[in-house]
């Protein structure tokens, strides 16, 4: 056995650390070891075994966790590639690739005591006590902790255990403060490392039939339970609008029971859909499938961009291709966007692939994710379907990776490592000599450009299935509407008429407004100031039903103001419209219509989402209002009208991807209309009626849009014509943020970076976010290599100047420059 091993530890440092291998241990490259790091113990991945004596004394490996590698040679190589391309610390990359933290992570939880309950009660009555030696901030922080812990759903046998990470991220307090509260006996601390998994979602089961003897809230819970076949995850009940004590009461009365069952998808209540292979693939689908099969059989890398318009039947092609991979005894991965993996989809997948499918969705607990990972690793499940991180699934003999809706921004991870799963899919396919299929009705500029340059084969599904037409799109110029009616309209006269008409014909309508809440701005008419978040330079949004002002970026909430917080004036105005207000407006206009809303406020989990879509599917709803959530992928045949309200706000933002995003959103939402027998129509209200993104979307002219947008990108040296990175410097102290960005700015000026353009430092468009002040640089270069060399040198300089690594964020191929 070699004397030393190099270990990638999950810390923000761009290096591996050398440890001495104890005599009785046999670590393997790609396996995990437990090592001492600073004052802690950490799990890291062994990247090399060697006999080179390090310059400082090496500490000893504490224990070897794996006898065989958890990352095979290919995944290790992929990890190195990601670390290099995204300038991310290798240990953090590996941590992202392996969903196994649950297996060894030490975990601490807290419960509230009776003393704690009492302290909370007293604080609520008398405010802060004058005799206390604690600062008001400290008291407020303690109050937040008690309030949070006390507000959580109690367990049947006492107060709930809240994990330290959850508690600290919810309340923003330090570990020291929590320890102080334990000393005061307000909280008890428990080690839950192996004992239990508090993130495990529990299920609730209905025990008895409960006629008559319930109050309204209890009835609501019981009905929800009954409607879902007697069992639902606790979270579903918690998202209903009833007090948290209701469930506890029902448990006490022995009517329902909490089961410690894994959070699986509830069995979908969707009417059995026609089975996937009941229809014959049409000729375009068949030829796409044949292309994919041939490429797979060739056993070498190739890429395919499947550009299929909305409703052209891409899913059937994906699944048929996967099935033939399975029949050949090989493996495939299907990536879907965050919102795409509904229980209905899961049901379809089980029907087609049986036990051979592993589904990795975001509702899994750490432990369940680890279980799925082991099933895949053992080769028990060779068909993997999942969101972003499923691209790292440990399958052997990978033949095919499919990225559905490849343009979707949920494929980009917005924390370190900031990878894009679509791009990783391509790299992984290359390493595995596999085939990658990127599918979309609105491909990203990057992928379309690659296809044009023959890096990928471009395969089109140019028509909707069964010759259904694309919807007719009518543009309403809202400036003209304003002139003609004399006031700002939310619903134009034309859209109102069209909605009324559909409702009379018993057809269904969707209305998109891509902004949640009631009103997005509260403005003082006296001093002209807006009500902003305490932590961010962002206006707070009024949420009427919750009676709160909410920051959509950090979650901060404040009471609804009666007077201006800046000058005390009573002339505060609530301006603009969000989806909550739109729903209210539509209720007032169409009192008979059954209306529901889909946005992040009404959807807490997959079940809510699924429930609403089912209701629409089964004709229990007439009208669905929502944010971009309603635009994605759904296949509901009764919808014949789509109204688009304020989907073009993005066009006013300082972001070079604004036109692309708007085009994609408009095209996708228009694609929801007319998917059944009756042709659809779209009424598109806009303030930018001449903008090419709006015009091309209205004419379903994909090629036209791409050509125009590519032209623009090429003139401005933006991707795909150059590689781009956003470098963000942040600190909760303004002085540090300014000083550090100045330091880096001077370094950029003083050093030559041939072929790299550096813009900045400039205040980021969102100048303050989650308490951090933010400055940024944008770097562009036709050469990826030069760009990364410059970034690497910049990071080295930052380290030398003692700028903490976590305060300089390098975002390669950034999707947002905000
Ligand atoms: P896309 O993802 O391209 O928008 P879907 O894959 O959701 O489209 O398919 C749209 C609908 O058409 C689905 O209900 C699907 O079952 C159905 N479908 C797919 N292929 C065919 C076909 N060849 N004949 C009839 N219906 C089909
Ligand atoms: Zn004011
Ligand atoms: Zn905020």
pLDDT bin (cut points 50, 70, 90) of residue 159 is confident
- If one compares 144 and 125, the residue with the highest pLDDT of the two is 144
pLDDT above 90 for 709:
yes
Residue 760 confidence (pLDDT): 92
Determine the 3-state secondary structure of 80 from DSSP: helix
Nearest to 30 by CA among 82, 89, 76: 76
pLDDT tens digits, one per residue of 453-507: 999 999 999 999 999 999 999 999 999 999 999 988 899 999 999 999 999 999 9
The residue contributing the CA closest to ligand 1 atom 20 is 313
Tell me, in angstroms, the distance from the centre of ligand 3 to residue 545's CA.
Answer: 20
| Among 315, 464, 667, residue to substitute to test ligand 1 (most atoms within 8 Å of Cβ) | 315
Residue 126 confidence (pLDDT): 58
CA torsion 48-51-53-56 (nearest 10°) is 40
Out of 47-61, 215-229, 723-737, least confident range: 215-229
Residues with CB under 6 A from ligand 1: 279, 281-282, 285, 308, 310-316, 465-466, 635
As a whole number of angstroms, the distance between CA 519 and CA 263 comes to 35
The residue with tokens 């991807």 is 657
Tell me, in angstroms, the distance from the centre of ligand 2 to residue 550's CA.
Answer: 19
Of all ligands present, the nearest one to the C-alpha of 337 is: 1
Residue 102 confidence (pLDDT): 56
Mean pLDDT, range 550-576, rounded to an integer: 93
Ligand 1 atom showing the smallest separation from residue 310 Cα: 4
pLDDT above 50 for 689:
yes
| Among 273, 282, 313, 471, residue to substitute to test ligand 1 (most atoms within 8 Å of Cβ) | 313
Tell me, in angstroms, the distance from the centre of ligand 1 to residue 282's CA.
Answer: 10
Determine the 3-state secondary structure of 458 from DSSP: strand
pLDDT above 70 for 211:
no
The residue contributing the CA closest to ligand 1 atom 12 is 313
Residue 585 confidence (pLDDT): 97
Residue 636 tokens, joined: 């509901």
As a whole number of angstroms, the distance between CA 343 and CA 588 comes to 33
- Work out the percent of the chain whose per-residue pLDDT is above 90: 68
Helices and strands in the chain: count of H runs, count of E runs: 25, 34
The residue contributing the CA closest to ligand 1 atom 23 is 281
Mean pLDDT, range 630-645, rounded to an integer: 90
Residue 195 confidence (pLDDT): 32
Residue 132 confidence (pLDDT): 60
Mean pLDDT, range 374-403, rounded to an integer: 96
Ligand 1 atom showing the smallest separation from residue 312 Cα: 3
As a whole number of angstroms, the distance between CA 509 and CA 644 comes to 11
Ligand 1 atom showing the smallest separation from residue 461 Cα: 3
Of all ligands present, the nearest one to the C-alpha of 552 is: 3
Residue 635 confidence (pLDDT): 85
Of all ligands present, the nearest one to the C-alpha of 286 is: 1
Burial class (CB in 10 A: 0-12, 13-18, 19+), 749: exposed
pLDDT above 50 for 271:
no
Cα 727 from chain centre: 22
Tell me, in angstroms, the distance from the centre of ligand 2 to residue 296's CA.
Answer: 65
Tell me, in angstroms, the distance from the centre of ligand 3 to residue 171's CA.
Answer: 14
As a whole number of angstroms, the distance between CA 688 and CA 753 comes to 39
CB 421 within 8 A of CB 335: yes
Mean pLDDT, range 655-680, rounded to an integer: 93
CB 3 within 8 A of CB 29: no
Nearest to 667 by CA among 622, 709, 713: 709
Tell me, in angstroms, the distance from the centre of ligand 1 to residue 357's CA.
Answer: 21
Residue 121 confidence (pLDDT): 86
Residue 479 confidence (pLDDT): 93
The residue contributing the CA closest to ligand 1 atom 15 is 313
Question: What is the total residue count of the chain?
Answer: 818
Tell me, in angstroms, the distance from the centre of ligand 1 to residue 309's CA.
Answer: 11
Burial class (CB in 10 A: 0-12, 13-18, 19+), 712: middle
Tell me, in angstroms, the distance from the centre of ligand 1 to residue 672's CA.
Answer: 12
Max mean pLDDT among 212-226, 229-243, 657-671 falls in: 657-671
| Among 271, 283, 316, residue to substitute to test ligand 1 (most atoms within 8 Å of Cβ) | 316
pLDDT above 60 for 264:
no
Determine the 3-state secondary structure of 116 from DSSP: helix
Residue 400 tokens, joined: 């095919």
The residue contributing the CA closest to ligand 1 atom 26 is 465
As a whole number of angstroms, the distance between CA 225 and CA 228 comes to 5
Out of 52-66, 257-271, 422-436, least confident range: 257-271
pLDDT bin (cut points 50, 70, 90) of residue 189 is confident
As a whole number of angstroms, the distance between CA 313 and CA 316 comes to 6
DSSP letter (8 states) at residue 430 = H
Residue 262 confidence (pLDDT): 43
- Work out the percent of the chain whose per-residue pLDDT is above 70: 92
Tell me, in angstroms, the distance from the centre of ligand 3 to residue 169's CA.
Answer: 14
Supply φ then ψ for residue 459, to 5 degrees. Answer: -120, 130
pLDDT tens digits, one per residue of 749-802: 999 899 999 999 999 999 999 999 999 999 999 999 999 999 999 999 999 999
Tell me, in angstroms, the distance from the centre of ligand 1 to residue 441's CA.
Answer: 13
Out of 234-243, 508-517, 647-656, least confident range: 234-243
Tell me, in angstroms, the distance from the centre of ligand 3 to residue 580's CA.
Answer: 20
Mean pLDDT, range 131-153, rounded to an integer: 83
DSSP letter (8 states) at residue 693 = H
Identify any residues that bridge with 292 across adjacent strands, giving them in sequence order. none
Mean pLDDT, range 75-82, rounded to an integer: 98
CB 115 within 8 A of CB 186: yes
DSSP letter (8 states) at residue 10 = S
Ligand 1 atom showing the smallest separation from residue 637 Cα: 14
The residue with tokens 């596999």 is 434
Of all ligands present, the nearest one to the C-alpha of 460 is: 1
Q: What is the mean pLDDT of the chain?
A: 89
Tell me, in angstroms, the distance from the centre of ligand 3 to residue 536's CA.
Answer: 4
Ligand 1 atom showing the smallest separation from residue 314 Cα: 3
Residues 6+ apart with CB under 8 A from 189: 108, 109, 110, 178, 179, 182
Of all ligands present, the nearest one to the C-alpha of 315 is: 1
Ligand 1 atom showing the smallest separation from residue 404 Cα: 2
Residue 270 confidence (pLDDT): 43
As a whole number of angstroms, the distance between CA 147 and CA 162 comes to 12
The residue with tokens 């009555």 is 125
CB 567 within 8 A of CB 526: yes
Residue 556 tokens, joined: 């901060």
pLDDT bin (cut points 50, 70, 90) of residue 50 is very high
Supply φ then ψ for residue 476, to 5 degrees. Answer: -110, 120
Cα 81 from chain centre: 24
CB 492 within 8 A of CB 483: no
**From residue 316, how far is each of 285, 288, 289, 431 by CA, in Å?**
8, 11, 9, 27
Would you put residue 334 in left (φ > 0), alpha (ψ -120 to 50) or beta?
Answer: beta
Residue 417 confidence (pLDDT): 96
Ligand 1 atom showing the smallest separation from residue 285 Cα: 23
Residue 266 confidence (pLDDT): 40
Tell me, in angstroms, the distance from the centre of ligand 3 to residue 517's CA.
Answer: 15
| Among 465, 667, 700, residue to substitute to test ligand 1 (most atoms within 8 Å of Cβ) | 465
Of all ligands present, the nearest one to the C-alpha of 531 is: 2
pLDDT above 60 for 193:
no
Residue 452 tokens, joined: 């044009």
Residues 6+ apart with CB under 8 A from 625: 510, 511, 513, 579, 582, 583, 586, 595, 596, 597, 598
As a whole number of angstroms, the distance between CA 444 and CA 422 comes to 11
Cα 118 from chain centre: 39
- If one compares 353 and 223, the residue with the highest pLDDT of the two is 353
pLDDT above 70 for 741:
yes
Of all ligands present, the nearest one to the C-alpha of 561 is: 2
pLDDT bin (cut points 50, 70, 90) of residue 201 is very low
Residue 696 confidence (pLDDT): 97
């Amino acid at each position: 056995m070699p004397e030393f091993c190099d270990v990638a530890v999950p810390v923000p440092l761009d290096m591996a650390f050398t440890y001495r291998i104890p005599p009785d241990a046999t670590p393997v490259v790609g396996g995990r070891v437990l090592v001492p790091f600073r004052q802690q113990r950490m799990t890291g991945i062994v990247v090399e075994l060697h006999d080179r004596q390090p310059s400082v004394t090496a500490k000893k490996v504490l224990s070897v966790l794996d006898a065989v590698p958890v990352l095979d040679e290919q995944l290790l190589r992929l990890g190195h590639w990601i670390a290099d391309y995204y300038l991310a610390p290798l240990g953090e990359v590996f941590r992202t690739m392996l969903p196994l933290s649950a297996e060894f992570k030490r975990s601490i939880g807290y419960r509230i005591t009776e003393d704690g309950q009492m302290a909370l009660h007293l604080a609520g009555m008398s405010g802060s006590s004058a005799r206390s030696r604690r600062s008001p901030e400290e008291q407020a922080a303690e109050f937040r902790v008690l309030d949070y812990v006390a507000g959580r759903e109690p367990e049947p046998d006492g107060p709930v255990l809240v994990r330290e990470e959850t508690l600290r991220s919810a309340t923003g307090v330090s570990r020291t403060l929590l320890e102080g509260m334990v000393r005061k006996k307000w909280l008890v601390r428990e080690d839950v490392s192996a004992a239990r998994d508090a993130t495990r979602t529990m299920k609730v089961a209905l025990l008895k039939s409960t006629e008559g003897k319930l109050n309204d809230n209890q009835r609501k819970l019981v009905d929800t339970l009954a409607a879902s076949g007697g069992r639902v995850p606790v979270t579903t009940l918690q998202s209903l609008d009833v007090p948290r004590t209701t469930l506890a009461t029902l448990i006490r009365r022995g009517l329902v029971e909490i089961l410690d069952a894994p959070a699986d998808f509830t069995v979908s209540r969707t009417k059995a859909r026609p089975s996937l292979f009941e229809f014959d693939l049409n000729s375009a689908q068949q030829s796409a499938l044949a292309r994919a099969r041939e490429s797979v059989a060739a056993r070498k890398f190739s890429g395919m961009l499947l550009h299929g318009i909305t409703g052209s039947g891409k899913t059937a092609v994906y699944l048929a291709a996967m099935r033939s991979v399975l029949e050949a005894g090989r493996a495939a991965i299907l990536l879907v966007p965050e919102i795409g993996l509904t229980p209905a989809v899961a049901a379809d997948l089980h029907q087609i692939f049986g036990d051979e499918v592993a589904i990795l969705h975001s509702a899994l607990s750490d432990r369940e994710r680890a279980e799925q990972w082991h099933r895949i690793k053992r080769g028990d499940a060779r068909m993997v379907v999942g969101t972003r991180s499923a691209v790292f699934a440990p399958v052997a003999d990978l033949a095919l990776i499919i990225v559905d809706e490849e343009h979707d921004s949920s494929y980009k991870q917005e924390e370190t490592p900031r990878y894009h799963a679509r791009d990783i899919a391509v790299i992984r396919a290359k390493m595995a000599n596999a085939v990658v299929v990127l599918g979309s009705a609105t491909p990203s500029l990057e992928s379309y450009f690659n296809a044009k340059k023959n890096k990928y084969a471009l395969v089109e599904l140019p028509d909707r299935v069964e010759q259904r037409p694309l919807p007719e799109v009518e543009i309403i110029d809202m400036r003209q509407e304003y002139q003609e009616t004399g006031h700002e309209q939310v619903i134009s006269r034309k859209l109102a008429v069209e909605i009324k008409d559909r409702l009379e014909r018993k057809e269904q309508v969707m209305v998109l407004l891509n902004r949640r809440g009631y009103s997005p701005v509260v403005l003082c008419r006296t001093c002209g100031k807006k009500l902003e978040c305490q932590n961010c330079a962002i206006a707070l949004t009024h949420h009427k039903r919750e009676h709160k002002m909410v920051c959509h970026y950090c979650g901060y909430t404040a009471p609804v103001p009666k007077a201006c917080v800046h000058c005390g004036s009573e002339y505060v105005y609530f301006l603009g419209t969000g989806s909550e207000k739109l729903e209210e407006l539509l209720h007032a206009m169409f009192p008979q219509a059954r209306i529901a809303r889909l946005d992040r406020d009404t959807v807490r989990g997959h079940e809510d989402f699924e429930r609403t879509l089912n209701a629409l599917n089964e004709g229990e709803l007439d009208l669905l209002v929502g944010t971009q959530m309603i635009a994605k992928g759904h296949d509901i045949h009764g919808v014949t009208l789509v109204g688009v309200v304020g989907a073009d706000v993005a066009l006013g933002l300082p972001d070079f991807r604004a036109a692309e995003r708007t085009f994609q959103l408009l095209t996708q939402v228009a694609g929801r209309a007319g998917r059944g027998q009756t042709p659809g129509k779209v009424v598109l209200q806009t303030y930018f009626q001449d903008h090419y993104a709006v015009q091309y979307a209205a004419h379903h002219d994909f090629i036209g849009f791409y050509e125009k947008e590519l032209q623009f990108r090429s003139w401005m040296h933006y991707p795909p014509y150059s590689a781009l990175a956003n470098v963000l410097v942040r600190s909760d102290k303004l002085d540090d943020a300014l000083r550090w960005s100045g330091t880096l700015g001077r370094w950029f000026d003083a050093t030559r970076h041939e072929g790299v353009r550096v813009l900045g430092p400039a205040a980021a468009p969102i100048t303050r976010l989650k308490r951090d002040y933010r400055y940024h640089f944008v770097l562009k270069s036709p050469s990826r290599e030069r760009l990364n060399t410059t970034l690497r040198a910049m990071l080295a300089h930052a380290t030398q100047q003692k700028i903490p690594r976590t305060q300089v964020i390098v975002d390669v191929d950034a999707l947002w420059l905000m």
